[in-house]
Amino acid sequence: MHIEPPREEWLNRRLKLQQMMKSQGLSGCLVTQNVGIYYYTGSMQTGYLFVPAVEESTYYVRRSVARALSESNVKVAELGSFRNFGRQLEADYPELFGATVSEGSLPSSFSSVPLIGTDLDVMPTQLYFRLTEAVPQAKLTDASGLLRQARSVKTPYEIARIERAAEAVAQALDVGCERLHEGMTELELMATIERELRSHGHIGLMRMRGYNQEIMTGVVAAGDAAAEPTYFDGPTGGRGLSPAAPQSASLRPIGRNEPILIDIGCCIDGYVIDQTRTAVIGELSPELRAAYETAEAIIRRAEQELKPGAIPEQIYAEALMMAEAAGLSSNFMGYGRDQVKFLGHGIGLEIDEWPVLAKGFRDPLEAGMTIAVEPKFTFPGVGVVGIENTYVITETGCRALTVSPEGIYSKQHS
């Protein structure tokens, strides 16, 4: 069941963004991506959200204006001809987009030509060129980092949505493991899990920000199929159904004594959980079981480090050292040239949010951040084992949002 957040939730998000814009000398921010528009308005209709640094925001909508009017928590205006967008902004914000800037209307760091941040990391180049032509009064600059940072700390409402998704995943995993049997195809197991997820409110997709990155409900793959590399920027890919969908479940039957990777998510009210468990019909080899135990040791160590003030790249570096000490460096987070260079990632409205537990991420963790930690080991021709939990950073440490029991899900009889 959809739960509407408190009305002040939307206002506080925009106020936070405005404070961040002022600190970076931005006159305003133009949000063009659907997820960003929803985050600040509560609606996801085709259009553009303009958030000025010191005034009321406006959601310029092309379609559907009627629905935006019923959903949006900010002022809605029908978007006229795109080529006249600049004139529309000038009429609504004359202090910013007019010929001159009213003295004292903006902080002294702002120039007479408004510097407008926008989400260039996801904006098509064609749209960028059209915007520069339509709004010649402003200078567009990249604010994608600012926008991602603004969303990295979650509110109690957002955390509650992720927790609800975690409960749905736990129930779906139980159903999937109960019905798991030898000879069942990966696709059949995925379909069983997905049906259960949908019955609990999963919207059927999980959004990603990365260019050309797509994700289904997750990866369900067994044995050598799970270890097949693919384009997806994650430690596992899966064989998939064809080269047109080269990831996740295939039509391969699941056999005995082979690792079954169940890396699944769920999206409720836009918010996602990410979770991985390892299963087997029969028993895993000593080598695979030892690798799985190393994955659990890494996640236990990460739990100790996930707290306010911790540096993400240091948590990743420690995981690398633990994998090396176990003699599993070449298998950690993929194999060979297909290894990925992170241990975990922020999660919320998108799978690939900030912060990332990876080299180069040096901003300290803050209370309210939600992070999926996923140590996994890939063995070509054999399979993948690992674990993934999603956590929220608290004032004193971290708390798991994932509720599924840990350990290898072993089924002796199919």
pLDDT in tens, 246-286: 999 999 999 999 999 999 999 999 999 999 999 999 999 99
Is the Cα torsion angle 138, 41, 16, 310 positive or negative in sign? negative
* pLDDT of 103: 39
Place of tokens 């300290």: 364
Look at residue 2 and tell me whether its pLDDT is greater than 80.
Answer: no
Digit-coded pLDDT (tens) for 214-236: 988 999 999 999 999 999 999 99
In the block, residue with structure tokens 């590399």 = 229
Q: What is d(CA 30, CA 118) in angstroms, rounded to the nearest whole number? A: 5
Q: How many residues does the chain have?
A: 414
Query: Does residue 171 have a pLDDT over 80?
Result: yes
What is the pLDDT confidence band of residue 47, given thresholds at 50, 70 and 90? very high
Beta bridge partners of 60: 48, 77
Q: What is the pLDDT of residues 186-207, one digit of tens each?
A: 999 999 999 999 999 999 999 9
Give dist(CA 223, CA 147) in Å, integer.
Answer: 40
Rounded-to-integer distance, Cα 344 and Cα 215, Å? 16
List, as one string, the DSSP characters of 201-257.
T--S-----STT----SEEEEEHHHHT---SSSSS-----SBTTB-SS--SPBP-TT
Global pTM value: 0.94
Q: What is the pLDDT of residue 4?
A: 80
Q: Give the contacts of 270 (CB within 8 A, at least 6 positions apart).
A: 35, 38, 161, 203, 207, 349
Contact between 247 and 232 (Cβ < 8 Å):
yes
Residues 6 or more apart whose CB falls under 8 angstroms from that of 48 comprise: 30, 31, 32, 37, 59, 60, 79, 85
| Interacting residues of 81 by C-beta distance below 8 A, sequence separation 6+ | none
Structure-model confidence comparison of residues 98 and 318, the more confident one:
318
Nearest CA-CA partner of 348 in 393, 302, 295: 393
Map out the domains of the chain with their CATH numbers.
7-151 (3.40.350.10), 153-411 (3.90.230.10)
Written as six digits, the tokens of 55 are 């005034």
Give the whole-angstrom CA distance, residue 115 versus residue 93: 14
- Joined together, the tokens standing for residue 310 give 């911790």
DSSP 311: -
Once rounded to an integer, what is the mean pLDDT over residues 366-389?
98
Cα–chain center distance at 144: 14
